[in-house]
A and B are shown apart, each in its own frame.
Chain A
Amino acid sequence: MNSEQPPLPPLNPVIHPVSRLRICALLDPVTEEGFGELRDLLEVSDSALSKQLAALAEAGYLEQRRTKRGGRSRVRVRLTDQGRRAYRTHVTALQALTALAPEARTTTPH
């Protein structure tokens, strides 16, 4: 019976867009990553990546820092602890939703 099922964990509206989800998935196993490497891995433009990173940073899920090496300035990106937790909770929610897909009741963000 649907009414007896526990409610599914809500999906995180900040992480839910696929482009941000992909960013989180790439950053999750590493301590940090270069902006350029991320852009190349995701095959997106600088501005598109900046926009998504800004949204994640605004939510406190991501930090960016500028480093200088050999006279060249580089931007390094890392997930915060809060961001890593949020990403993992979101993936767990997605897995639960997929497992219960036909009967799923969820609070999917718009």
Chain B
Amino acid sequence: METHGTQAQESLEAVAKMREHNQRRLIRPRRYWVMLSGMMALLSLLPYMDEWPFYLSAAVIIAVALVLVLAASWKQPSASRKTRFNFRAIPVFLVLVLGIAVLVMGSRYAYTGLDWWWAPALSAVLIFGFVNWAGPVMDRAWVRGASSV
């Protein structure tokens, strides 16, 4: 009986080791979150382009977004794109989306309604920091949830 217990313990240790492996290999690199933060921060800066001709603002947005997407996907570990969907990550994801939405809308209102020219810039900095912090937290929660029994 004790042998069975010992064997089971050894098997569980092997599983735990593989889970640690998973947590390291499935988490996106920091670079990915820096790029996503940049893209989200860009949303906050859109009010500055309100007065620009449409084609110019559209071209700038598309060009910056393309650069960010290309940089973010560069050498991204393939495994992170294959992590199974996990419901435990949804609350963190919602907080992330909601936080960005509140900051973007609030800064736009402050810029157009209250004439606070610095509001979009401040919001961009806050969004950059927020996504950079919350992204890896969400990723870790996602991977932990997906690999736990």
Q: Could you list which residues of chain A lie within 8 angstroms of chain B, going by C-beta atoms?
A: 11, 16, 18, 21-22, 25-26, 28-34, 37, 41, 88, 91-92, 94-95, 97-98, 100-106, 108
Contacts and interface: CB of A to CB of B under 8 A. Distances in A.
A92 to B, nearest CB: 6
A97 B5 CA distance: 6
Contacts of A104: 1, 4-5
Interface in B1-25: 1-2, 4-12, 14-15, 17-19, 21-22, 25
B14 A29 contact: no
B18 A37 contact: no
A89 to B, nearest CB: 9
B142 to A, nearest CB: 9
Interface stretch (B33-41, B78-86, B106-114, B128-136): B78-86
B143 interface: yes
B84 A31 contact: yes
B143 A29 contact: yes
B149 A92 contact: yes
A104 B2 CA distance: 8
Interface residues of B, number: 29
Contact of A41 (B1, B6, B11, B25): B25
Interface of B: 1-2, 4-12, 14-15, 17-19, 21-22, 25-26, 78-79, 82-84, 143, 146-147, 149
B8 A97 contact: yes
Nearest to A28: B147
A32 B7 CA distance: 28
Contact of A29 (B7, B11, B26, B78): B26
B23 to A, nearest CB: 9
Nearest to A108: B4
Given A18-B14, A91-B12, A106-B4, A33 B82 contact: yes
Given A25-B19, A31-B84, A105 B12 contact: no
Given A30-B79, A97-B4, A103-B1, 16 more contacts: A18-B14, A21-B15, A25-B15, A25-B22, A26-B21, A28-B146, A29-B84, A29-B146, A34-B78, A37-B79, A94-B11, A95-B12, A97-B5, A98-B5, A98-B8, A101-B2
16 contacts: A16-B11, A22-B15, A22-B17, A25-B22, A25-B147, A26-B21, A29-B84, A29-B147, A31-B82, A33-B82, A37-B79, A92-B149, A94-B8, A95-B12, A97-B4, A104-B4
